Amino acid sequence: MDDDNNLNTRVISQIITGAASTVIAAGVTIVLVVDSIYNIPKEPRINREKEREDYISSIIHGSDSHCIDQIRISPRAFYRLCEILRNKNLLRPTINVSIEEQMVTFLHLIGHNVRLRVIGSRFHRSCETIHRYFSIVLRAIMKLHKDLIRPPTCCTSPEIQHNRRYWPWFEDCIGAINGTHVRASVPIALQARFRGRKEGTTQNVLAVVSFDLKSMYVLAGWEGSAHDSRILDDALSRPNGLRVNIYWVMPGMGFAMDLSLLIEEFGTI
């Protein structure tokens, strides 16, 4: 009888010991797993300001080709544009954002047609910050229109006078007129009107450019489905529209039917 009791006691003791060992092993395993999760080696923290400054510097202090690839203008033109905006008090630096950074983000955004989130990630800025400074720079650029877009000077361009291929057949021709399609974001109800020859929704922009590549007149806003000649008629009929006096403008292919109009109505063009 005593032997049976001793046997039962040993069996129970072994069971308890085995269970305790299992619990301890499981506990150790859990501790090791948790420790491995919360002690994962972390990468060094990114110095966002330094990385942003280095990236901007690599663009505006790099080669001309690299700068043009990134923001579509050369470093010299970039600094000249910043200087103009600064001198005219159209752009001001803030505590956190310099004029150069404002311009680089703006030019990068319009030059590559990317989302605000992409630019924000590249420059380590929030979408709200990118949007705010994009609007500020856009308004500043628009205020330069009187300096950058000037009426024709009504004199034959040296590019015509000094080129035997064009002189004297293009005498009194002060520029070229053509249309270009620019992507447009419009409400769904209006999208059908803005679908033309190009893919997606666009606006058909009329532009007159001199032979030294200076803009003389721009008319934007027409839907992409509008014909070039219709847009030209609108430009000619506006009170502050296209005016060339007795000189004429060479039309593009879309304006071929209006060539006689351009030549005959000297008093209104």
Residue 27 inside a domain? The answer is no
Residue 118 inside a domain? The answer is yes
Q: Same structural domain for residues 138 and 58?
A: yes
Q: Same structural domain for residues 92 and 62?
A: yes
Q: Give just the sign of the alpha carbon dihedral 126, 127, 128, 129.
A: positive
Q: Same structural domain for residues 205 and 113?
A: no
Residue 152 inside a domain? The answer is no
Q: Please give the residue that has the higher pLDDT: either 46 or 166.
A: 166
Q: Same structural domain for residues 122 and 202?
A: no
> 86, 121, 146: which is the final residue of a domain?
146
* Spatial distance between the Cα atoms of 79 and 71, rounded to a whole number of angstroms: 12
Domain with 199, as residue range(s), is 158-264
> What average pLDDT does range 19-23 have in this prediction?
66
* Spatial distance between the Cα atoms of 193 and 203, rounded to a whole number of angstroms: 9
Burial level of 165, CB count in 10 A (0-12/13-18/19+)?
exposed
Q: What is the pLDDT of residues 97-134, one digit of tens each?
A: 999 999 999 999 988 888 888 888 888 899 899 999 99
Pairing of strands 202-209, 173-183: antiparallel
- pTM equals 0.59
* Spatial distance between the Cα atoms of 27 and 22, rounded to a whole number of angstroms: 8
Q: Same structural domain for residues 195 and 114?
A: no
* Spatial distance between the Cα atoms of 35 and 269, rounded to a whole number of angstroms: 81
Q: Same structural domain for residues 184 and 245?
A: yes
> 119, 146, 173: which is the final residue of a domain?
146
| Alpha-carbon separation of residue 226 from 113, 130, 133, 203 (angstroms) | 24, 34, 33, 9
Q: What is the pLDDT of residues 159-184, one digit of tens each?
A: 777 788 878 777 777 777 888 888 88
How many domains, in total, are found in the chain? 2
Q: Same structural domain for residues 126 and 168?
A: no
Residue 204 inside a domain? The answer is yes
Secondary structure of residue 226 in the 3-state scheme? coil
When pLDDT is cut at 50, 70 and 90, the band that residue 138 belongs to is very high
* Spatial distance between the Cα atoms of 28 and 16, rounded to a whole number of angstroms: 18
Secondary structure of residue 163 in the 3-state scheme? coil
User: Which of 83-97, 141-155, 202-216, 241-255 tops mean pLDDT?
Assistant: 83-97
Say how many C-beta atoms besides its own lie within 10 A of residue 127's C-beta.
14
Q: Same structural domain for residues 135 and 162?
A: no
